[in-house]
Amino acid sequence: MVTTRFAPSPNGPLHLGHAYSAIVAHDLARAAGGRFLLRVEDIDGVRSKPELAAEFRADLQWLGLEWTEVPAQSSRFASYDDAAQRLKDMGLLYSCNCTRADIAAAAVEAGPEGPVYPGTCQGKNIPGEGAAWRLDITRALARTGTLHWTDDLAGQQRAVPDQAGDVVLLRKDAPASYDLAATLDDARDGVTLVTRGRDLFSASHIHRLLQELLGLPVPRWHHHALLVDKSGTKLAKRRGSPSLADRRLAGEDGQKLAQALRQSRFPAGISLDPS
Ligand code: GLU
């Protein structure tokens, strides 16, 4: 059974890029007679706006999609703690109190997500209270050996989680990082095909490592191309892309819009990023 999901964070309204992503995930599941899930990724209590979850459901319905909703991340904190404790027991996490500025100043090179953390706090036993916890990638890889994963579009990949440095798994300001929470939730929700934009491709290297360390099932991935504007920039509400809610409330036909997106007929100035 193929199970896909759409996992928006309720920190801003959905726009056309989200609609495209949800439709890709929905249609891949439907074509295989499988399930399409909605999971609200409200791990970040500070930035999440609870009222947006209802708006997301209204948007998906307007697009003509059908889904099964699974529990939001805010109801799953205990499972994140539990997994983090297991990684701590394996000696794979270390506490870190570096600020962004510390990291930028000490970083030797910039990775795809910004400067790579140079390991400043490793071995220092910083008091855990109020600190972030990072995964010691070198130790983790020594334990798992070489790993592979498969993207339906990009083919087989050798996992290179080390390119991002020692990632934070427990944040100072939230119960878990996106990487830990999403990996655990995808396993728990029985997701077999992780469908999302290519901007999150590099995260999948880390997720594959976490799956191996925590004994989770390994899905396949489908990282679709992103919708971009005339300047080649990813769509975002703050750069003036109208939200789906704006379009819906203005009386636009959502099912027609969904059909157009399926056929790669995009509104003026919007296209799929070929890179
Ligand atoms: N919650 C993430 C976001 O809104 C998406 C995560 C994912 O699809 O893995 O960007």
Q: What is the pLDDT of residues 92-126, one digit of tens each?
A: 999 999 988 888 777 666 655 667 888 899 999 98
Q: Is residue 203 part of a domain?
A: no
Supply the range of the domain harboring residue 42. Answer: 3-74+225-272
Q: Is residue 198 part of a domain?
A: no
Same domain, 233 and 265: yes
* Pocket of ligand 1 contains residue 185 by CB under 6 Å: no
Tokens of 142: 């020594």
pLDDT lower than 70: segments of the chain? 107-114, 237-240
* Pocket of ligand 1 contains residue 9 by CB under 6 Å: yes
Q: Is residue 106 part of a domain?
A: yes
Q: Is residue 220 part of a domain?
A: no
- Per-residue pLDDT at 86: 98
Query: Tokens 């791990």 label which residue?
Result: 43
The DSSP secondary-structure symbol of 205 reads: H
- The count of domains in the chain is 2
Percent above pLDDT 90 for the chain: 79
The Cα–Cα gap between 179 and 116 comes to 16
* Pocket of ligand 1 contains residue 181 by CB under 6 Å: no
- Per-residue pLDDT at 241: 75
Taking the CA of residue 21 as reference, the ligand 1 atom at the shortest distance is 8
Give the global pTM.
0.94
Tokens of 65: 């999609």
* Pocket of ligand 1 contains residue 271 by CB under 6 Å: no
Q: Is residue 31 part of a domain?
A: yes
- Per-residue pLDDT at 113: 62
- Per-residue pLDDT at 104: 79
Burial 20-47 (b: 16+ CB within 10 A, else e): bbbbbbbbbbeeeeebbbbbbbbbbeee
